[in-house]
Amino acid sequence: MRTFNLSCPLLFIVIFLTGCWDRTEINDYAFWVGSSIDLNEDGSFKVSAQIAIPSQFRSTGGSKSEKEKATIVVSATGKSLIETLQNIQEKLPRRIFVGHRRTIFFGEKMARSGIKNAIDQFVRNPDTRLRTDVFMVQGGEGKDALEVSSPFNPFSAVAAVDQDKYCRVGDTVLRDLIVDSTRDGIRPSMPVIEVNKKERNTFIIQKAAMYNKNLEMVGTLGQIDSMDMFWIKGVQRDRYITVDMEHGIYSIYESNLRSHITSEISDGKLNFVVKLTGNGRILENTTRTNPSSANQLPGIEHEINKKTKEHIEKMIKKVQENYGQDVFGFGEVLHEEHPIVWKSIKNRWDQEFPLASVTVDVRLKIRSTGNIGKSLDL
């Protein structure tokens, strides 16, 4: 009798654990891998989705024909992103799932008009991955990037993320964009991606786009300037660089890159000092100097650091004069070190930043000169 009394509650519980009436099978989902957002002439949004086709994946070798592509690109328009999302859903026989989305591409026209409204939807959606990479597609629509047929990955959205790891331009994800847009002392930036016009199945990632407080793109920086900008921000950790020297060049691999910014106020003028450090390994030398010589190496280091300092200071001045947007984060440093002063100028930082004085101190230490000293030509 006692055994029966104990077993009755267990049987009662088992009855309610034998089924699931609100489940969604994995076969019922359409996995959204990449997004693009473009602006139509009438001001409406055009959103494109790169959707995976699981049935086209093969575990064995063999090439796929054009009809056997592992992805499709579905587009829709609407007055809001939610409306376009629903319009895309109406074109698919499965339920959309954005939890695996890797990349968001913004068309150049969309970026210049402002992406603030687009970001709002991503922040509110709990299924959005904040580690989703973001790019601005220069010279075209974001959809162009989704339609690239990469030979290295069936998903161009994933191929772009993988390529960005090795381009040294700076990995920017949705979380970084959101955080920078909500702070007063820094303006957002993101990598620029171009579809290779000569080879339509590859990307080019060499630039960075700069945005103002309203998340409107104001301009782009070239390859070297972009790397320097991300070094100052503390994002870049290593890179390859070529420095023009007298009678030749030095190609260097720079690693362990660090940035430290300090601020001071003198006679009512803002002054910033940027200290950049790192280690260098010489990979190529076409000059008439011998970097393995203990007598010549300090002079070589000094010359490399001097040229790098001059180039970075010139780049910062160009950003101040031409764009007036603090994409480096100097305002955040001022906020931390002089909070009272910052409180009085934070609402007009876009006007104060171009007037600030910035000094750069580069201290790159050459740790390796290669297996030979002088150039083989000598």
pLDDT of residue 165: 82
- 233-378 fold: GMP Synthetase; Chain A, domain 3 (3.30.300)
What residues in the chain have per-residue pLDDT under 70? 1-24, 26, 56-68, 371-378
Give the dihedral of Cα atoms 89, 92, 95, 101; nearest 10 deg.
Answer: -80
Give the dihedral of Cα atoms 26, 29, 30, 35; nearest 10 deg.
Answer: -100
Q: Could you read off the pLDDT of 324-352 as tens digits, one per residue?
A: 999 999 999 999 999 999 999 999 999 99
Q: What is the 3-state secondary structure (H, E, C) of 212-257?
A: CCCCCEEEEECHHHHHHHHHHHCCCCCEEEEEEECCEEEEEEEEEE
pLDDT of residue 37: 96
pLDDT of residue 191: 94
Nearest alpha carbon to residue 327 among 336, 337, 318, 340: 318
Residues linked to residue 275 through DSSP beta bridges, in sequence order: 260, 361
- Please say whether the beta carbons of 304 and 285 come within 8 A: no
Rounded to the nearest 10 degrees, the angle between the axes of helix 174-182 and helix 116-124 is 110
- Please say whether the beta carbons of 57 and 70 come within 8 A: yes
152: its two tokens? 């290295």
Distances (CA, A) of 266 to 73, 270, 333, 335, 357: 57, 7, 16, 16, 11
Alpha-carbon span 373 to 378, nearest angstrom: 10
pLDDT of residue 166: 81
Alpha-carbon span 88 to 49, nearest angstrom: 8
Phi, psi of 230, deg, nearest 5:
-70, -30
Distances (CA, A) of 84 to 30, 45, 91, 229, 263: 16, 7, 11, 35, 46
Alpha-carbon span 143 to 71, nearest angstrom: 14
- Where do the DSSP E strands lie in the chain? 29-39, 45-52, 71-78, 95-97, 103-107, 133-137, 189-195, 203-211, 217-221, 239-245, 248-266, 269-285, 357-368
pLDDT of residue 375: 60
Q: Are strands 103-107 and 95-97 parallel, antiparallel or unpaired?
A: unpaired
Distances (CA, A) of 279 to 43, 124, 270, 307: 49, 42, 30, 16
Residues of the chain with CATH 3.30.300.210: 233-378
Question: What secondary structure letter does DSSP report for 173?
Answer: B
- Please say whether the beta carbons of 135 and 148 come within 8 A: no
Nearest alpha carbon to residue 305 among 267, 275, 337, 338: 275
Q: What angle do CA 265, 328, 268 make, to 5 degrees?
A: 15
- DSSP run (H or E) holding 179: helix 174-182
Distances (CA, A) of 83 to 40, 87, 134, 156: 15, 6, 22, 25
